[in-house]
Structure 1
Amino acid sequence: MTDRAPHTRETTRQLQDDLHHLSQTIEELVNATADDSRHNVKELRERAEQRLRETRERLEARGERAYREARDSVTQQADACDRYVHDNPWTSIGIGAAVGVVVGMLIGRR
């Protein structure tokens, strides 16, 4: 868990930077629309569209990476659980029975 903390902070920082750049470009576009200069508006609009595309691509890539990492982590945990159950079948049966008794008692109280 501690190994992921620096990666999460870095990803968060990159996301903040991307959104900051995008908002700056949009602010410039809004300010430029006050001018009558059509060339200036067109140039800023193109820059805003480009930054929006880049930000969207980065966010999609980060979302896919986060999904893959979560999927891999869950798979590893499931494999570890499976190995434990195969290595310690009687302990696993005991744990399952104990959990069943506790759940049964909780349900029976209602």
Structure 2
Amino acid sequence: MSKESSSEHLRAELKNLADTLEEVLSSSSEKSKTELDKLRHKAQAALSSSRERLGDSGERLAQTTREAAAKADDYVRENPWHGVGIGAAIGVALGILLSRR
């Protein structure tokens, strides 16, 4: 699943959750106890699903970050002088930016 479709799916789930909660809050006085129980169950299911999705997204992000860090570490270990040069260039750029303040 691509990031864009995953993001769209998550937005749709959160909208569904918000709509369900809005329905529960706006019509609580007009509904019978059974209808309220059904709405409450629907809201709990949507919330649970959204929490699960957010947890999965966070885990995927953490995994991607770990992989990127490992690749960067491998690159620096294989090409140490490139790493030193890149670090020096970043340091010079930051020094210039900070000295302008």
TM-score by length of structure 2 reads 0.74
Aligned equivalent of 1:78: 73
Unaligned 5+ segments in structure 2 are none
- Tell whether the 8 Å contact from 1:32 to 1:40 is kept in structure 2 after alignment: no
In 2, Cα distance between the equivalents of 1:9 and 1:71? Answer: 21
In 2, Cα distance between the equivalents of 1:66 and 1:81? Answer: 23
Note if 1:31 corresponds to 2:21.
no
| 1:25 aligned partner, one-letter code | T
1:15-54 Cα deviation digits (max 9, x unpaired): 2111011111112212330314111111100110111011
Percent identity of equivalent pairs: 23
Note if 1:40 corresponds to 2:35.
yes
Cα 1:84/1:94, change in 2 over 3 Å: closer
Q: Could you tell me how far 1:11 is from its partner in structure 2?
A: 2.5
Aligned equivalent of 1:3: none
Give the length in aligned residue pairs.
Answer: 94
Unaligned 5+ segments in structure 1 are 1-5, 86-90
| Max Rg structure | 1
Cα 1:76/1:32, change in 2 over 3 Å: same
Give 3-state SS (helix, strand or coil) of 2:61's partner.
helix
Backbone CA RMSD of aligned residues? 2.9
Give 3-state SS (helix, strand or coil) of 2:79's partner.
helix
1:64-106 Cα deviation digits (max 9, x unpaired): 1111111111111111121112xxxxx459738x93xx76xx6
In 2, Cα distance between the equivalents of 1:20 and 1:80? Answer: 42
Note if 1:95 corresponds to 2:97.
no
